Amino acid sequence: MATVAPTTDRGSAGVRAAVERLYRDELRAEAPQWERDAGVPRSVFERLGAIGAFEARWPGGALGQGDFDVAETVVRETALASVGACIALGTHLEAYFRALARCEYGRAVWDDALAGRRVGALSVTEATGGSTPTTCHTVADRSGDGWVLSGHKHYVSNMRAATDCVVFARTGDRTDLTSFTLFVVPLDAPHVRLTPHRMSAARASATAMLDMSGVQVGDERRVGRVGSGLMLLLELLRAERLGAACAGLAVAELCLETALAFADRRRIGDVPLRLHQAIAHRLANVASEIAAGRALLAESLEAARNRRITSAEAGQAKLVLNRVAWHAADEAMQVLAGRGFTEETGLSQIWRDIRIGRIGGGTDEVQLELIAQSLRPGELADHPVVVAAAESGGMA
Ligand X SMILES: Cc1cc2nc3c(=O)[nH]c(=O)nc-3n(C[C@H](O)[C@H](O)[C@H](O)COP(=O)(O)OP(=O)(O)OC[C@H]3O[C@@H](n4cnc5c(N)ncnc54)[C@H](O)[C@@H]3O)c2cc1C
Q: What residue ranges bind ligand X (CB under 6 A)?
A: 87, 91, 122-125, 129-131, 155-157, 199, 202, 205, 207, 356, 359-363, 365-366, 369
Q: Whose Cβ is closer to ligand X: residue 263's or residue 354's?
A: 354
Distance between CA 382 and CA 378 in Å, rounded?
A: 9
Q: How far is the CB of 356 from ligand X (least distance, A)?
A: 5
Q: How far is the CB of 219 from ligand X (least distance, A)?
A: 23
Residue nearer to ligand X on the CB measure, 165 or 279: 165
Nearer to ligand X, 45 or 262 (CB): 45
Report d(CA 281, CA 275) in Å as an integer. Answer: 9
For the four alpha carbons of 230, 88, 218 and 58, in that order, the dihedral sign comes to: negative
Burial of 277 (0-12, 13-18, 19+ CB in 10 A): exposed
Give the single-character DSSP code of 337.
T
Phi then psi for residue 203, to 5 deg, are -70, -25
Of residues 167 and 283, the one with the C-beta less far from ligand X:
167
Position of minimal CB gap to ligand X: 130
| Closer residue to ligand X (CB): 7 or 91 | 91
- By beta-carbon proximity to ligand X, the closer residue of 25 and 37 is 37
Return the number of the residue (71 or 167) whose C-beta is nearest ligand X.
Answer: 167
End-to-end CA, the chain? 72
As a whole number of angstroms, the distance between CA 193 and CA 153 comes to 10
- Cα gap 207→340, rounded to integer Å: 26
The single-letter DSSP state of residue 23 is: I
Q: How far is the CB of 365 from ligand X (least distance, A)?
A: 3
> What is the C-alpha to C-alpha distance for residues 105 and 184, in angstroms, rounded to an integer?
8
- Nearest distance, CB of residue 91 and ligand X, angstroms: 6
The rounded distance, in Å, linking the Cα atoms of 341 and 41 is 28
Strand extents, DSSP E, 91-159: 120-123, 139-143, 146-156
* Nearest distance in Å: CB 160, ligand X: 12
Alpha-carbon distance of 43 to 37, in angstroms, equals 14
Q: How far is the CB of 165 from ligand X (least distance, A)?
A: 9
* HSE-up of residue 103 (Cα within 13 Å, Cβ side): 26
Least distance from ligand X to the Cβ atom of residue 351, Å: 15
- Of the pair 340, 361, the CB lying nearest ligand X is at 361
Nearest distance in Å: CB 229, ligand X: 13
Taking the C-alpha atoms of residue 32 and residue 38, their distance in angstroms, rounded to an integer, is 10
